[in-house]
Amino acid sequence: MISAIAQAVWRPHGLWRHADFRRLWAGQTISVFGDQITMLALPLAAVLTLDASPGAMGVLTAAGWLPHLLLSLGAGVWIDRRRGRRDLMVAADLLRAAVLASVPLAHAFDALTMAQLYVVAFGVGALTVVFDLAYSSYFVVVVPRAAIVEANAKLMATRSASYIGGPSLAGLLVQALTAPVALAVDALSFVASAALIRRMRTPEPPPDSLADAPLRTRLADGGRFLLRHPVLRPLLACATTLNFFTFVLWGVLVLYFADELGLSAALIGAVFSAGAVGALAGALVAGRLGARFGYGRAVVIGSFLFPAPLVLFALASGPRPLVLAMLVAGEFLSSVGVMLFDVNSNSIQALLTPHRLRARVTGVHRTINYGARPVGALLGGALGGLIGLRPTIAIGAVGATLAVLVALRSPLRSLRELPEEAA
C-alpha cells in the first residue's frame, strides 16, 4: 500500500512539475483534511452539546446541502458571466473560515444554539456551491486533457488519505477540546487553502459568449445539453439515486453510532478512519481499472460497490469487536466503490461538457444531484423518529443499490475509452 501511494502521489514528470496544479492540489488537500473534522464535529456539537433529536439531525444535515438545491442554477449562470474565478474561490474559502469560526466563539460565551448550527451549515454549503462551480471551470484550464484522469486520481487519493487521519483527529479534538472548538481547525484549513489558490497564475477562461442572453435562455442551454446527452443523463440519474438514499442513511448515522451502538466520539472517528483506507485504495486503482476494463464499466461497478456494503451498518450487532468489524468492513468496501465511481464519472463528465457551458451544466447537475441530499437527509431524520434508526439505515443502504440498475440500462456499460473533449 505504501509503495502504491508513493507511486500515485510522487511522479517526477507530468503533473508533479505543474506549479499551479501543485498549488491547487495542496490547497484541496489541506481543506478536505479540515472538512473531515467538520463532518464529525458539527453533528457531534449538536448531539453532545445540544442533545439534538433525530429530526434535528436530519435538518442539520439537510441545511448543509440545501444550497446546492436552491443556489446552483443561479450561481452557475452568474459564474459563467464572470472573469476572476480564481478570486471567487479565494473569497469563498475565507468566508467559510469566518462562518465556521463563529461556532467556537458562540460556544465560548455559552450562546450556541441549534439555530446557529443550521445557519452555519447552510452558509458553508452556499459558499461551497460558489467555490465548486468556479473550480469546475478553472480545473479543466489548469489540467491538460491527457492528465484529467491522473489529476482526478491524485486529488481523490489525497482526499482519501484525509479520510484516514481526519476523523481520528476530529474524534480526539472533540474529546479534548469539545466539538465547537474543534471546528476552529477547519476554519484555519480554509485560510491555508485560500493562500495557496491565490498564488495560481494560469490564465482565466473567457466569460460565456452568451452572457447577455436572458437568464431563462442560459439556464435552458445548460439543462438541455445535460438532460439530452446519452451518457451524462444516466450518469446524473445514477448519482442522484445514490445521493438520495445514502443521505437517508447519513442524516442519522452519527446519532445511530453514538446512541444506538454506544460509540464514543473518538471511536466513531476511528471507525471512519479505519474504513477510509478503502477510499485511498479505491482512488489509487480507479483510473487503472477504468483504463483496463472500460471507464463506463468502472462507473457501473462503483454504482453497486458503493452502496451495497452499507447494509452492514444496519446489521451491526453483538459483541463490541464484532460490531466494530462490521462497521469498518462496510466503510472500507463502500469507500472503494465511491472512489471507483467518482474518479471515472468525474473524468467522463469533464471531457463531455463544452467549456462555455461548464458552470451552467455543473449548476444544473448539482441542483438535481446534490439537491437530492437534503431531501434524503430530511426523510432520514423523519424516518429515524418514526420507525427507529436501524430500519432507517437499512432503507438508505438497500435503496441506494437501485442506482446500478440505471447504470446497466445506459451506454455506460459499453463505454471503454475516455471520450474526446467536447468542442
Q: How many domains does the chain have?
A: 1
Give the pLDDT band (50/70/90) at residue 71. Answer: confident
**φ/ψ (deg, to 5) at 261:** -95, -10
Report, in angstroms and rounded to the nearest whole number, the Rg of the chain calculated over CA atoms.
Answer: 20
Q: Which amino acid is at 172?
A: L
**Residue 295 predicted with pLDDT over 90:** no
Cβ neighbors of 237 (< 8 A, separation 6 or more) are 406
The count of other CB atoms within 10 Å of the CB of residue 176 is 11
Residue 224 has pLDDT above 70, yes or no: yes
- Position 226: which residue type? L
The overall longest dimension of the chain from CA atoms, in Å, is 64
> Which of 130-139, 251-260, 266-275: highest mean pLDDT?
251-260
Q: How confident is the model at residue 9 (pLDDT cuts 50, 70, 90)?
A: very low
**Would the pLDDT of 175 be above 80?**
no
Q: Is residue 345 within 8 Å of residue 418, measured between CB atoms?
A: no
Cite the DSSP H helix spans in 81-231: 85-108, 114-142, 148-177, 179-198, 215-228
Looking at residue 158, what is its pLDDT?
72
Q: Is residue 25 part of a domain?
A: yes
Q: Is residue 143 over pLDDT 50?
A: yes
Q: What separation, in Å, do the N-terminal and C-terminal C-alpha atoms of the chain show?
A: 39
For the segment 333-362, what is each residue's pLDDT rounded down to a tens digit? 998 998 899 888 888 887 788 877 776 787
Is 230 a domain residue? yes
pLDDT of residue 101: 92
What confidence tier does 418 reach under pLDDT thresholds 50, 70, 90? low
Q: What's the domain range around 353?
A: 2-204+212-414
pLDDT reading at 273 higher than 90: no
Residue 421 lies in a domain: no
pLDDT of residue 227: 85
Average pLDDT, the chain: 82
Residue 169 falls within a domain, yes or no?
Answer: yes
Q: What is the pLDDT of residue 286?
A: 83
- The helix (run of H) or strand (run of E) holding residue 50 is none
Burial (CB count within 10 angstroms: exposed 0-12, middle 13-18, buried 19+), residue 256: buried
The CATH number of the domain holding residue 298 is 1.20.1250.20
> Comparing 304 with 361, which gets the higher pLDDT?
304
Please report whether residue 422 resides in a domain.
no
391 or 30: whose pLDDT is higher? Answer: 391
Residue 163's pLDDT is: 64
Mean pLDDT of 176-192: 83
The answer to whether position 163 is within a domain reads: yes
Is the pTM higher than 0.75? no
Cell 440498475 belongs to residue: 405
pLDDT band for position 151 (50/70/90)?
confident
Q: Determine, yes or no, domain membership for 124.
A: yes
- Cell representation of residue 33: 483534511
Least trusted range by pLDDT, from 212-216, 226-230, 336-340: 212-216
Indicate the range of 7-11, 89-93, 242-246, 327-331 predicted with least confidence. 7-11
Q: CA–CA separation, 267 vs 59, rounded Å?
A: 24
Number of Cα atoms under 13 Å in the Cβ half of residue 378:
10
pLDDT tens, residue by residue, 75-94: 777 777 777 778 888 998 99
- % of the chain surpassing 90 pLDDT: 25
How does DSSP assign 54-72, residue by residue? HHHHHHHHHHHHHHHHHHH
pLDDT bucket at 165, cuts 50 / 70 / 90:
low
Average pLDDT over residues 321-339: 91
Answer whether residue 223 is part of any domain: yes
DSSP for 263-299 reads: --HHHHHHHHHHHTHHHHHHHHHHHHHHHHH-HHHHH
Please compute the mean of the pLDDT values over residues 222-242 and round it to a whole number. Answer: 89
Residue 311 has pLDDT above 70, yes or no: yes
DSSP code string of 178-189: -HHHHHHHHHHH
